[in-house]
Amino acid sequence: MNNQLTQVDHSALRVNQAMIIALLIIGFVINLPVLAAFVSAVMLIGTALRQPGFKIVYAGFLKPRGIVKPDVIADNPQPHVFAQGMGGTVLLIGVIAFALNGALIGWALTWLVVALAALNLFGGFCAGCFVYYWLARLRVPGFVAQPTPGTFPGMRPQGKAS
């Protein structure tokens, strides 16, 4: 069992979610599946680098100008990385559907990712993190982090970083 919490900046996660939601909705409105492909690629690259895909927008633009302030919380970074990877994969399946002329399935999966990102951004519940913690509970290899004490799996921890 691994429960070593580190400092996770939730502002970076929220900016990432906001970017995903905004770009995917714009992609839907102007009927540009390539934008969904771009978001999917950014999410999967971010997962490989173990950080939020659109972190550059936060770290390079919003944070230095004081537009978004850091919100550092003692938390596990792994479930958030997993959640992003899960979202990126769902979006990738959607992109494949677009390529196979399955626009309806493609947009449905895109909206699913928008809904889950919105649930995280506005509701504080990370569905991907919830799945991660369940896999850890089932002792699936590679899933070792445990929920923050006193926090329901997937919910945003209330405590500040120590």
Partner 1 sequence: MEILLRLGIALFIILAGIVVYRFVTAVRLALLRMKQNPMVGLGGRAGVPAILYFTTPDCAPCKTFQAPAIESLQVQFGDRLQVIKIDASQRNDLADAWGVLSVPTTFIIDAQGQPRHVNNGVASAAKLRQQLREFVGLDESAEKTIRLENRLTVGQ
Q: How far is the CB of 48 from partner 1 (least distance, A)?
A: 29
123 binds partner 1 (CB under 8 A): yes
**Other C-beta atoms lying within 10 Å of the C-beta of residue 75:** 24
69 binds partner 1 (CB under 8 A): yes
146 binds partner 1 (CB under 8 A): no
| Interacting residue with partner 1 among 3, 34, 103, 159 (CB under 8 A) | 159
Report the alpha-carbon distance of residue 127 to residue 113 in Å, rounded. Answer: 11
Q: Which stretch binds partner 1 (CB under 8 A): 41-49, 69-77, 78-86, 87-95?
A: 69-77
Identify which of residues 48 and 103 has a Cβ nearer to partner 1 in the complex: 103
130 binds partner 1 (CB under 8 A): no
Report the alpha-carbon distance of residue 93 to residue 65 in Å, rounded. Answer: 36
Report the alpha-carbon distance of residue 17 to residue 84 in Å, rounded. Answer: 9
| Interacting residue with partner 1 among 62, 92, 96, 118 (CB under 8 A) | 118
155 binds partner 1 (CB under 8 A): yes
CA distances from 67 to 4, 7, 15, 44, 138 (A): 31, 21, 11, 26, 41
**Planar angle of CA 24, 30, 35, nearest 5 degrees:** 40
